[in-house]
Amino acid sequence: MEAFLISLSTVALAEMGDRTQLLSLLLATRFRRPWPILAGVFAATLANHALAGVIGALIGHQLKPAILDAAVGVSMVGMSLWMLKPDQLDENDGKRTQKGVFLTTLVAFFIAEIGDKTQIATVALAAGYSNVFAVVAGTTCGMLAANAPVIFLGNAFAGRLPMRAIHYTTTVLLLGVGFIFIYRAIH
């Protein structure tokens, strides 16, 4: 349960203001069809994070627990600092509409997740925890928790969110998680 909850909270926090959340906003305002967008986000995230989880598990089995905790801790600290640089969406992202809303979302989201904070977090968490299923379920649920409100509310609240405060709060929370893992590695 710990692997699921840490994975869910880490990705939900890391996703705040991320380019994939901005992509969700773009898709929601462009297509105004939340259910196929949410389904595309779910399918793309599940596929992307499952692959990342397998890679993380393979790496994790090669390392000692203290090294794993240290690696996860350092990656969380790195992600927390990454949160201080907000992502911006390229103007051309998400504009392919010929294949339908679901397919457009699926492809755009899968590609946007490659090398993203949440994918890197999934690799690190899967390396640190022995339950890849719990990690992937947690990271996928975290992605949905962060993106579903954006998808359903569209741009109604986009200009009203205090993104700077969200980024700073997320930075502090991810730093805390990172330091917990580093502490576990030392002791």
CA–centroid distance for 94 within its chain:
18
Secondary structure (3-state) at 143: helix
DSSP state of 182: H
Q: Give the span between the Cα atoms of 6 and 121, in whole angstroms.
A: 11
| 136 neighbors 126 (Cβ within 8 angstroms) | yes
Q: Residue 140: what pLDDT?
A: 98
Low-confidence ranges of the chain (pLDDT < 70): 68, 76, 79, 83, 85-99, 155-163, 166-167, 170
Q: Residue 87: what pLDDT?
A: 52
CA distance to 1, 6, 62, 64, 149, per residue, from 86 (Å)? 31, 22, 34, 34, 19
| 99 neighbors 36 (Cβ within 8 angstroms) | no
Contacts (Cβ under 8 Å, ≥6 apart) of 96: 104, 107, 108
DSSP state of 98: T
Q: Residue 143: what pLDDT?
A: 97
Q: Residue 12: what pLDDT?
A: 93
| 38 neighbors 162 (Cβ within 8 angstroms) | no
Q: Residue 83: what pLDDT?
A: 62
Contacts (Cβ under 8 Å, ≥6 apart) of 14: 79, 83, 117, 118, 121, 142, 170, 174
Q: Give the span between the Cα atoms of 121 and 2, in whole angstroms.
A: 15
Q: Residue 99: what pLDDT?
A: 54
